[in-house]
Structure 1
Amino acid sequence: MKSLRKYWGYVVAIVVVYGWFSGSLGPNILVVLSAIAFLYSLFQAPVWCCAETRKEEFCRNNASGILMGCWIREHRWQKLKWFVRKSAWGQLIKRLLSGFNGIAASFSAVGALVSAGAAVITLMVKTV
């Protein structure tokens, strides 16, 4: 039960994939579920911090979400700053894809974003 509480966003992402392939969920529900899975990946998914330490190594503390750091105040906003600065995107991607949890959260975020966009386009086409 504890792991379900920790990984609930991945369950939502699986429901989104099921909804697209089965056609049983409408685009309204897919937009909402995709947005929830996307926000989970950004701010709550369990990943390593991967911020740069003073020894120029990866921080291996646990963090919440691919954009937030660990409990150390300097690390908390470092990844978010990398996301905002276009010149640091390569470093951010390299650090996000350094472990399985980071890869899972990153692909979940990209998939949820694509899913939400496709569902919004589907809604727009159906209303026209």
Structure 2
Amino acid sequence: MKLLGKYWGYAVAFVVVYGWFSGSLGPNILIVLSVVAFLYSLFQAPVWCCAETRNQEFCRNNAKGVLMGCWIREHRWQKLKWFVRRSAWGQLSRRLLSGFNGIAASFSAVGTLVSAAAAVITLIVKTV
């Protein structure tokens, strides 16, 4: 049960995938579940910090979410600056895709963002 408490957002993402392929969930539910899984990936998924240390290496402390750093305050700001500055997106993606947890959280974030956008478009088309 402790494992489910830590990785609950991935279970929500699997429900979203199931909902798209089975057609059993409406667009409203898919939007809500996609947004919840997206926010989980950004702010709560267990990943490595991967901020740059003073020795020009990856920080291997545990962090929560793709956007959040570890307990070191400067690392939190560093990851947020990488996300905001377009010139640093390559460095951010290299750091995030360096471990399995980072890859899972990154693909979950992108997938659920696309899912939410597609569900919104589906909802708009159905109401028109």
Relative to the length of structure 2, the TM-score reads 0.99
**Equivalences for residues 1-128 of structure 1 within 5 A:** 1-128=1-128
Distance 2:3 2:77 in 1: 26
Distance 2:80 2:4 in 1: 26
Structure 1 gap segments, 5+ residues each: none
- Give 1:52 deviation, angstroms: 0.3
Q: 4+ runs of 1 displaced by more than 4 Å?
A: none
Name which of structure 1's ranges 68-77 and 34-43 shifts more when overlaid on structure 2. 68-77
SS of corresponding position for 1:63: strand
- Percent of matched pairs sharing the same residue: 87
Relative to the length of structure 1, the TM-score reads 0.99
Question: What do the CA deviations read for 1:42-98 (whole angstroms, capped 9, x no partner)?
Answer: 000000000000000000000000011000111122111100001100000000000
Distance 1:109 1:80 in 2: 16
Task: Please tell me the residue identity of whatever aligns with 2:18.
Answer: Y
- Give 1:103 deviation, angstroms: 0.2
Distance 1:80 1:5 in 2: 26
SS of corresponding position for 2:4: helix
Structure 2 gap segments, 5+ residues each: none
Distance 1:34 1:16 in 2: 7
Name which of structure 1's ranges 105-114 and 76-85 shifts more when overlaid on structure 2. 76-85
Distance 1:48 1:27 in 2: 33
Number of positions where the alignment pairs a residue of Structure 1 with one of Structure 2? 128
- Give 1:32 deviation, angstroms: 0.3
Distance 1:76 1:108 in 2: 21
- Give 1:100 deviation, angstroms: 0.2
Aligned-pair RMSD on alpha carbons? 0.4
